[in-house]
Amino acid sequence: IMAEQKKYSAVKDIEILALNPTVPKYATVKPTAVTTERKMHWRRNLEQPFGCNTDCSLEGDFMDIKPTTLTERGALFESRRCLKCADAPCQQSCPTQLDIKAFIGSIATKNYYGAAKAILSDNPNGLSCGMVCPTAELCVGGCNLAGSEEGAINIGGLQAFAVNAFKDMNIPQIRDPSLPPLEDLPPSYKAKIALIGCGPASISCATYLARLGYSDVTIFEKEEHTIGGLSSTEIPQYRLPFEVVDFEVRLMMDLGVKIVKNKALGRDFTMSELKETYDAVFCGFGLPDPKVIPLFSELTEEQGFYTSKGFLPKVTRASKPGMCNCKSALPEFANKRVVVLGAGDTAFDCATGSFRCGAKHTYVAFRRAFPDIRAVDEERDMAAHERAEFLPYCSPKKVIMRDNKIVAIEFYKMEQDDEGKWVQDEDSLIRVKCDYIISAFGSALKDTEVVKACEPLPFNKWGTADIDTNTMQCNGVEWLFAGGDLVGNGTTVEATNDGKTSSWHMHKYLQGKFGIPVSDTPSLPKFFTPIDLVDVSVDFCGMKFPNPFGLASATPATSADMIRRAFEQGWGFAVTKTFSLDKDLVKNVSPRIVRGTTSGHLFGPGQSSYLNIELISEKSAEYWCTCIAELKKDHPTKIVVASIMSGYSKEDWVELSTLAEASGADALELNLSCPHGMGEKGMGLACGQNDEMVENISRWVKQNVKIPVFSKMTPNITDITSIASAAKRGGADGVTAINTISGLMGLRADATAWPAVGKAKKTTYGGVSGNATRPVALKMVSAIAKACGPDFHIMGAGGVESADTAVEFFHCGAGVVQICSAIHNQEYTVVEDYILGLKTYLYLQARKDLVGYNAQSKPTVEGKTVRNLIGSGLPKFGPYLAERLQKRSEAALKSKNNLPEYKAPARAPIPDKIPTLSEQLGRALPNIGKYTDLNNKEQAVALVDEEMCINCGKCYMTCNDSGYQAIKFDPETHLPNIQDNCTGCTLCVSVCPIIDCITMVPRESQLQYEPYRPIRGIPPKVDPVPDDH
């Protein structure tokens, strides 16, 4: 033991500090040649941002390569950047009109179900679209942050993350519970509806029709084994896995939609035959035939010619687990040269797909210039980083054949004439050696049998269905609707919106047949699951709150009109801005509400704190009493609490409380805690820091009124339980804890503070609010709950900004929560996020199969199967990364054409009993106690997951300069290694930038560690008093 103490002596430096940062004394000199060689050891961009652009092969490698894909950590970071703009341009640029700022706001609060609900309400193919949408041309193109240095929000990645998180919860879709049950609907809802083709347009249309209540909806799909249309058959696995499409189809089928497979238009039925049985038909079958220029019309796949319609389905069948039960092999392009013709998304899918078939060189040839490439930037860049070669200004001239095989292709060079038209330059030719040609020149409907079977579907001069683009109804055929490729809308999101639009107008048509009028303004039902059935109402102090979220007595409750708008958005209660008798009316200064400095140099929404020097309401008591009466009349189910303030005068408190009760207020909040301005008038803080005053004021009011009374507590006191106990002795039914914390937010370089009032630039100590105050609020709420008991009611306040943080207050003993600063950061609609987040929390508590979930966060441990990962134990830079990529390449090649089995998970059963909100109150209190209640014999140590580590060394640095020098840091691999002298302080966990990369585990679980013994530095001369507890 003595030797161990010497090794880690407090008076002797140790080798473990070798790589710790030091302040340089001189400029650093290192020859360029040395750095040139050494930098290769640290390079991380061998595979960034897309795929593998080193010498390793992509053959058989269908792992996700989307640059937009986000982990939970990335999604939380990215969502916090979003400004949640007013009249958000991103939303107006989305074909399906997603409430983008709402779903991103929900992600930021870790309410992934709330985000998914917002997405799937407007887009039943929300996960597919999140993965493959051309966002740069749509929502991202309208993002206001595109005009800033940091760039636009990764909306597609956030959308995919949120819906994928919900997918993992395995919860079924249900109809809107507020709508009439199917059995109560009129006969018009039993109309028979047929949809042709199970692609995005039909999935969307069928979903909305089923949500509306139509019970006989059938999709006819020509494929025997495949569903999902082109999303399944032509978009590669590394961009859109089959399980994603299957998830969306299963959500649709949850509502009773039927799918009949192996039924093809033209082969098995005609449109006219469908009309004999069905009341309305939707055409969502796309354009199945490739466009082929005459030069290639006689070529075959055996000779080396593919169309995208022939090539991509072969790739998807051989790479998408679960897509079909067939055994299929990838096209064999090993060490071959491939030329892809075209400049759209499909052409670039063919290019990246060819590498996965083994192609050694792939060329993408197109007629015009780089700026004219129609593919989205992500697709183009993906191909470029995988070393596809681009051939602009090329028009096919001739295919060179030998032994009946393609060996090369010749192109004319294209140029623009004086009128701007693109023409061939027949004197400028280029020949490219190749073994295969893939034509991606678009698609059409050319099969004469299918065209004939479409009658009476009309077609226009472009070969697409002739429709009313506002209703998707076919011109001249009122029972027929169409969308997607068939009408010229080729992207997944456009097809989805076509189906959505069609559903409403088909609904209007069908109801019209029965003489039932339907509004011209669509009102399609939103997405619902059993989570939405969870009851979050709470009986609190004899009052029935529809939900536990309310406006605090602050700027969000400045006027009755504001409170009314808040109630309309779903808030359960409101506390009016504090008002007084007319003799105590105030006048504010300006400026008076400023952003905090606790978030560092963060500008815009998302502030962790605010400071205000605003006083109580400038409006009269008569105004507020009138408003309370009106609010209760208009919103009788909502709770209105009147916040009142006076000096230490029984007559004034009695008069004011009498007026407030007479107005119809449900309860009173006695503001005994305003930390600035009012205290100098003998009000607010001047009363609230004195036990006797708090007790007497509470008694005066409680003896005068019959409604519940809450005394609002100040945190600006040594022991809040003393004044809470005083309020209880005075007869108060409960307290509000806490008001703002008195502070000085920051000083400028010229020694003036902000806010600075008037020409003199004076300031005063103001009230600090926001989530920076939450630790204080939770401490004080829990202390009051323990001191005053469960029958003393607590309204929690101070840093509530999400359902998760509200639950913390409930667990500490609060029954409802008041919110202000979170509304500063956004607006009233945040309450929807809080309500859904709380419902989801309660629902998931009942799901015993979701082991390890932390609220809505999936346990990271499920992604940490370190020993099974390719290249595990190797860092992710330089030669180690190259080795990883090589191992990945070898594994992909070995597994080529051997698909793992895919089986869709069975729907998890709906829990029999959902915990109530009341059952959450005070759950944490038994775990909060004195320091001597803590067990110092059960020690923990840090454990680093090397597979998740990004080698930053933050744990090493904080341990050395702020902790216990218990981490070694390898100078070559930059992998940290926890030593056996780890004391379990947890600093390393706190500074690690990767969620759950470092975890705390019981010391005894690490066999190499001895039981913990404190290192005393210099051995004590006497035995210390035993301190075990």
Catalytic residue numbers read 674
Spatial contact of 407 and 400, defined as CB atoms under 8 Å apart = yes
> CA quadruple 124, 128, 131, 137: dihedral positive or negative?
negative
- Tell me how many helices (H) and strands (E) the chain has: 31, 35
**DSSP string covering 193-233:** EEEES-SHHHHHHHHHHHHHT--EEEEEES-SS--STHHHH
Residues 6 or more apart from 492 whose CB is under 8 A from it? 125, 128, 129, 132, 133, 200, 231
Cis peptide bond N-terminal to 134, omega within 30:
no
Tell me how many degrees the CA angle 880-884-887 measures, rounded to the nearest 5: 135
Residue 760 phi, psi (nearest 5): -75, -10
Give how far Cα 631 sits from Cα of 504, 568, 637, 707, 1007, Å.
36, 11, 10, 17, 65
Spatial contact of 538 and 528, defined as CB atoms under 8 Å apart = no
Dig out the tokens for 370 from the structure.
């780089």
Q: What SS3 class is residue 593?
A: strand
- Cα separation of 225 and 246, whole Å? 12
Q: Report the amino acid identity of residue 94.
A: C
Spatial contact of 487 and 467, defined as CB atoms under 8 Å apart = yes
- Cα separation of 1003 and 164, whole Å? 36
- Cα separation of 193 and 209, whole Å? 9
Secondary structure letter of residue 576 according to DSSP:
P
**What are the strands, taking DSSP E only, across 434-581?**
436-439, 443-444, 467-468, 473-474, 480-482, 538-540, 543-545, 549-551, 573-575
CA proximity to 712, closest of 767, 650, 638, 764: 767
Q: Which residue has the tokens 């979003």?
A: 82
For the chain, the residue count is 1029
Say how many C-beta atoms besides its own lie within 10 A of residue 592's C-beta.
17
Beta bridge partners of 402: 405
Residue 316 phi, psi (nearest 5): -70, -40
Beta bridge partners of 935: none
Residue 478 phi, psi (nearest 5): -70, -25
**DSSP string covering 916-971:** PSGGGTTTTGGG---GGGS-SSS-EEEEE-TTT-----HHHHHHHHHS---EEE-T
CA proximity to 485, closest of 523, 520, 442: 442
Task: Estimate to the nearest angstrom the gap between the alpha carbon of 730 and the chain centroid.
Answer: 47
Alpha-carbon torsion, ordered 632, 840, 539, 769, to 10 deg = -70
**DSSP string covering 747-780:** B-TTS-BSS-BTTTTB---EEEESGGGHHHHHHH
Dig out the tokens for 469 from the structure.
């683009």
HEC string of 136-173? HHCHHHHCHHHHCCCCCCCHHHHHHHHHHHHHHHCCCC
- Cα separation of 613 and 611, whole Å? 7
